[in-house]
Amino acid sequence: MNIIHVENLVKKFGAITAVDDIQLEVESGQIFGFLGPNGAGKSTTIKILATLLRPTAGKAAVAGFDVLANPNEVRRSIGLVFQDQSLDDRLTAQENLWFHAMLYDLPSSLFAERAEAVLRIVDLLDRRHSLVRTFSGGMKRRLEIARGLLHHPKVLFLDEPTLGLDPQTRNAIWKHVKALREGKGTTVFMTTHYMEEAEHCDKIAVIDHGKIQAVDSPARLKRMIGGDKIIVSGDDSLSDDIKTAYAVEVQKIGNDVHFQMAAGAEFVPRLVSDFAGRIKSIQVKEPSLEDVFLRLTGHSIRAQEASSLDQMRQAAQLWRRR
């Protein structure tokens, strides 16, 4: 059985369906990404898998244990790095780790060695005896990741792990996550709404409105787009002419004409000769996950953010009225 197994999972909050009948299989040792806009149901799914929320219907198992029947076994098998911070800032870095080690029943003989190792990974060894309240946002996040690794979990859940971090820290964290997978075979299950970040994953599930739209590797998902994106600018009738000449779907955005074409770079000379004198500029872009998302859901991940925020506000109002 796979390390994460989700079957017909549903979670409703009142009238709102946050997770709508999803299926998921994550193989051991994978870095699995959950890509979607805010409010798509990513965090809700993680919370169910981590036994913090009870599903409305369906089944979920982590490391072979059912989240409802054996929550304690599930908790013992996982590490969790939350979207918002969960450290005690009145304790030092080392004390936060000690607290975690105690709750996860790590033998005290192992603690010193493990704490040093994880603090070294996140480059906080020299600050181990400082109070967490003196840490910057990035340092806190790194400490949380260190804490998540302390008990050598089989599955590490990262909920928007690099949210609000500078690119340098983000890269460092990715380096550690990958090293961890290589070294310990840890399965990493992460959520993100950053496209660049999803590129690091072995497999991505694209989720929108609580439904999974597609699951595959980033490369295969991009192949689904059916070629590179070509952006041409030129005279006004160019758009219609390209459409009839190559039998492709075109999109007119401002003065630019967008269309997809396999092996875009090799296609450019033909385009130039076919429309000699009519083209001002040509751009060829490899498809991005943003394009994949657009294709799958019909909207861009950024545009969705505003409306999902509205949804959350509505939900909050509903809740208050009860």
Partner 1 sequence: MEETMRLALKTVYTIWLREAKTFVREKFRVIAMIGQPLLYLAVLGNGINSGVTLNGSGGINYLTFMYPGVIGMSILFTSIFSAVSIIWDREFGFLKEVLVAPVPRWAVALGKTLGGATIAIVQATILIFIAPVIGIHLSPGIIVEMWIMTFLIGVALTSLGIAIAARMSSMQGFQMIMNFLIMPLYFLSGAMFPLSSAPAWIKALMTVNPLTYFVDGLRNILFSGTTMASGGLVRRTIVEVATGAGLIRWSLLFDLSVVSLVAILLTATGAYRFSNQTE
Closest CA relative to residue 126, chosen from 109, 137, 139: 139
Question: Which range touches partner 1 (CB under 8 A), out of 82-90, 189-197, 281-289, 292-300?
Answer: 82-90
Q: Where is 279: in which H helix or E strand? A: strand 279-285
Q: How far apart are CA 168 and CA 112, in angstroms?
A: 28
CA distances from 253 to 274, 278, 286 (A): 22, 18, 18
CA dihedral 308, 6, 83, 112 (to 10 degrees): 180
* Least gap, CB of 156 to partner 1 (angstroms): 13
Contacts with partner 1 by CB under 8 A: the residue count is: 28
Rule CB under 8 A: choose which of 73, 116, 256, 305 binds partner 1.
73
* Least gap, CB of 21 to partner 1 (angstroms): 22
* Least gap, CB of 132 to partner 1 (angstroms): 10
CA dihedral 217, 49, 175, 222 (to 10 degrees): 20
Q: Please report whether residue 89 would count as binding partner 1 according to CB under 8 A.
A: yes
- Which tokens in the block code for residue 262? 């396999």
* Least gap, CB of 140 to partner 1 (angstroms): 10
Q: How far apart are CA 217 and CA 5, in angstroms?
A: 18
Half-sphere exposure of 201 (CA within 13 A, CB side): 31
* Least gap, CB of 170 to partner 1 (angstroms): 21
Q: Please report whether residue 87 would count as binding partner 1 according to CB under 8 A.
A: yes
Rule CB under 8 A: choose which of 51, 162, 186, 187 binds partner 1.
51
Q: Please report whether residue 102 would count as binding partner 1 according to CB under 8 A.
A: yes
Q: Please report whether residue 50 would count as binding partner 1 according to CB under 8 A.
A: yes
Region 137-156 residues binding partner 1, contact defined as CB under 8 A? 147
Which residues bind to partner 1, rule: CB under 8 A? Answer: 47, 50-54, 72-73, 75-76, 80, 82, 84-91, 95, 99-100, 102-105, 147
